[in-house]
Structure 1
Amino acid sequence: MTTDEQGYARLPEDLLHGLLSEAGPITDTVAGMLASSIEHRDQLRRGLSDLGLLRRFNTTTPSPVAAVDGGFAIERTLAVDLLLSVAVGVEGLGAETRWDSNQYRWWARALPHQIESERLARGLMVAQELAILSEAPHELRILDGSHLTLVIQLNAALTTQSQEIRALARDEWAGLRTIESLAHAATDPSLIAMPKYDSSDELARRLSKETGVALAGDDKYLLGMLLDAGELVEPQRVPDQPWQQLHFDARPGDEDLEEALAKAIQPLVRRELWFTYFKPDDASPAYRIEMKEDAVHDLDRICSTLADQITGPFVREPYPQYLADVMAKSVGFGLSALQAAVQYRLSSGGQPDIARLLIRSYRTEGT
């Protein structure tokens, strides 16, 4: 049996038959949602121009660049939860280097079963990303994701019911200087954020109103269809929502941490952040770039640097961002290796009964 056949064999035959019978209606839905931007492309491009949103970048000398991404994994064994979070920094292609090797942070722990373990792993992953970014000596640094994600993940760990998890988060954040790194990420113009997934539709709504063309889908998809190679959207200030709602909560005893974190993100709450969509070549998607106000006047250098890191049609993001993502998302292999090493030590140390409890898992979680 082939690998594909084995995969299909995991589903009941009747379920799979019913699932495939829905392909027709879903195809019609997708076509109906996305066809407008293709059919009315010329009209929509004129609308972009009329709104003053369309511009090109001027090629300049690229700058040294690095990108950071993180990942986490949780192995929920019969006895305990094994947690691992990592962050990896990768330098861009070019003759000038600032790092001797790839940068990384990691954290691993065994904890009693707790449903909130994932919040801890995510919160530490983000803190590790921030630590690497704050120390990177490059003229341009890329956060894989949005500035929003930083606040969401840190706040999720801060508001857990478990006092043990909150204490672990507090200790690790102190060691990583997370408050200082977060304030740095919210203000430094050399740090940009590039989320892969983006549900924003502000520009689509404006363009639909301007042209009278009904549009479905998000801005990232739409601009990917409308922009030509070398074009970008005139930078826009981020909208009131959800940025003005960004905040931190805290359980009793952590109010000082809440206050310090909230102070660190005030530039984001005040919307001192801008965004654009940039398409470096015909084969690439439109990249959403979040930047500080001081970086708006430096877009030619930013776009030139990003365009210089697009290595081919099969790599859908700047090279250091792509490689950091590949490395960080391999975190599950690292956790499997750690789990096997712990099992071996328990068995060879005369505790095979405990080792057997780590062999069987309820499930593996992570990203």
Structure 2
Amino acid sequence: MMTLEEIKRDLDFLPEAMVEEMLSKQKEVIKRIGANLQKLNSLKAKVREALLNLGVIRDFADVVRQKSYPTTVGVDGTRSRIMQLSMDTAAVAAVAVEGLVPPREEKIWPKPHHIVKIFQLEHSPVTDELLRGLMFSCELELACKAPHRVVMLDGSYTSILVATGQCLKQRDNGPEELRNEVESRIKQTLENFRIVLTSPKIDQIFVALPKYTERKEVISLLQAEGLTDPILERIDDRGLLTICLKSQEFIGPLPLQKPQSPWHLTGVPEEYISIREEIINAMNELHVVYIKPSPVHPVLRAEIGRNIAIDERKLFILLQALLEQTVVPGIFEPYPLYIADVFVKHVHGSLLELREAAVSDMSRVNNLNLTDYFLLLHDYRSREDFE
């Protein structure tokens, strides 16, 4: 999030007339936001009553049997691309961070708890697709190596499926270095994805936690029961349930909302078709759980496989882990995912610094025209510091 000083700096830079126009338009936006929030608030009691009548709201305190203090880990990743005049410098990174430590149980967790790859690439229109697929591949690898009871992935399973398909579809195109990396990881990536979707181990639970979502499993349920209001078309489940659920209440598991077209995974080599079919079958059996950790936290959306959805013991372990890791006011996601996110957000800035260090080192090499060298490795467009 931008600081107040950064916001003021940006406003100070813009032409005065442009700032005035933005402020006038922003006032109208604020009015519309306020009107929508008022409509939501007026609908809150009716929505809660409907959900209670449907019997889908449960209180964690009423269903938990015995606390088990599960170990947890959060996995997040990033990709970065510096688009230079002559070539690209790119990086893919993933980080796994252990959750708040339970009172007992130590696991052997092999190091490193991160993966980072840096590439020097020729320009290509498919570089972003390949990098995004590799990013999720690295996240899946770390997730499957973690020995923890509950393994949390940042984002949705849909994002992983789509990105993996787009990456595999372009695996014969783009820079050679990326093509080779993608090719070498295909089998393991598909197997890891299948494991994460199905949670085959008795003592391990995988869960995907998207921050941003458009899904409306609960709203669709309400609409099927005759509750209709235009505001329900303008909000998703997380937004609605954040104001309708009380602390430690949860809804689900509910079948995950299916896309308009069937799930598909393109670009998979012929020898891995059987794994692809297992992945698609697992996607069709995904479920979702919503839980509100506390009065000062938004509702969490947890996407889980069928093995967890039909096993209440595993479900309660998962919910306990989410509640125990979402305890810090101001941090709106489980602690390990927040820390992992903080780490990966610094990858791009670090890559820029390493690039500058490399430019400095090259100045010592003989027979180089430093002006040409500097221009060729400069960003293809000016950065905000006006270099």
Q: TM-score, normalised by structure 1?
A: 0.89
Distance 1:307 1:187 in 2: 23
Which segment is superposed worse, 316-325 or 212-221?
A: 212-221
Q: Per the alignment, do residues 306 and 6 of structure 1 end up closer, same or farther by CA in structure 2, a change over 3 Å counting?
A: same
Contact 2:85 2:375 in 1 (8 A): no
Q: Partner of 2:297 in structure 1?
A: 284
Q: Partner of 1:128 in structure 2?
A: 138
Classify the secondary structure of the residue corresponding to 1:240: coil
1:21-55 Cα shifts (integer Å, max 9, x gaps): 11232123223333333123222111001122111
Q: Per the alignment, do residues 262 and 129 of structure 1 end up closer, same or farther by CA in structure 2, a change over 3 Å counting?
A: same
Distance 2:277 2:12 in 1: 53
The residue type equivalent to 1:69 in the other structure is: D
Contact 2:90 2:120 in 1 (8 A): yes
Give the deviation of 1:363 after TM superposition.
Answer: 6.7
Distance 1:173 1:129 in 2: 17
1:141-183 Cα shifts (integer Å, max 9, x gaps): 0010111111111112222386244873453453472121111
Q: Partner of 2:15 in structure 1?
A: 12
Q: Per the alignment, do residues 314 and 82 of structure 1 end up closer, same or farther by CA in structure 2, a change over 3 Å counting?
A: same
Q: Per the alignment, do residues 344 and 261 of structure 1 end up closer, same or farther by CA in structure 2, a change over 3 Å counting?
A: farther
Counterparts of residues 130-145 of structure 1 (less than 5 Å): 130-145=140-155
Count of paired positions: 358
Answering whether residue 209 of structure 2 is matched by residue 194 of structure 1, we say yes
Give the deviation of 1:280 after TM superposition.
Answer: 1.3
Which segment is superposed worse, 227-236 or 351-360?
A: 351-360
Q: Partner of 1:343 in structure 2?
A: 359
Contact 1:157 1:169 in 2 (8 A): no
Distance 1:166 1:158 in 2: 14
The residue type equivalent to 2:38 in the other structure is: A
1:223-266 Cα shifts (integer Å, max 9, x gaps): 11100001000210113325x6221223xxx7437736623512
Contact 2:75 2:154 in 1 (8 A): yes
Answering whether residue 57 of structure 2 is matched by residue 40 of structure 1, we say no
Contact 1:127 1:173 in 2 (8 A): no
Classify the secondary structure of the residue corresponding to 1:113: coil
Contact 1:249 1:258 in 2 (8 A): no
Contact 2:51 2:57 in 1 (8 A): yes
Q: Partner of 2:262 in structure 1?
A: 245
Q: Partner of 1:212 in structure 2?
A: 227
Distance 1:308 1:238 in 2: 25
Counterparts of residues 186-335 of structure 1 (less than 5 Å): 186-188=197-199, 190-210=205-225, 212-214=227-229, 215=232, 216-241=234-259, 245-250=262-267, 255-256=269-270, 259=273, 262-269=276-283, 271-296=284-309, 297=312, 298-335=314-351
Distance 2:89 2:343 in 1: 20
The residue type equivalent to 1:334 in the other structure is: S
Give the deviation of 1:315 after TM superposition.
Answer: 0.9
Give the deviation of 1:123 after TM superposition.
Answer: 0.9
Answering whether residue 71 of structure 2 is matched by residue 64 of structure 1, we say yes
Distance 1:103 1:221 in 2: 33
Classify the secondary structure of the residue corresponding to 2:50: helix
- The ranges of structure 1 where at least 4 consecutive aligned residues each deviate by more than 4 angstroms after the TM superposition are none
Give the deviation of 1:113 after TM superposition.
Answer: 1.6
The residue type equivalent to 1:280 in the other structure is: P
Q: Per the alignment, do residues 157 and 167 of structure 1 end up closer, same or farther by CA in structure 2, a change over 3 Å counting?
A: farther
Q: TM-score, normalised by structure 2?
A: 0.85
Q: Partner of 1:55 in structure 2?
A: 58
Distance 2:276 2:175 in 1: 20
Classify the secondary structure of the residue corresponding to 1:265: helix
Higher RCO (Cα < 8 Å, 6 or more apart): 1
Classify the secondary structure of the residue corresponding to 1:22: helix
Q: Per the alignment, do residues 359 and 97 of structure 1 end up closer, same or farther by CA in structure 2, a change over 3 Å counting?
A: farther
Instruction: Name the % identity.
Output: 26
Q: Per the alignment, do residues 52 and 102 of structure 1 end up closer, same or farther by CA in structure 2, a change over 3 Å counting?
A: farther
The residue type equivalent to 2:127 in the other structure is: S
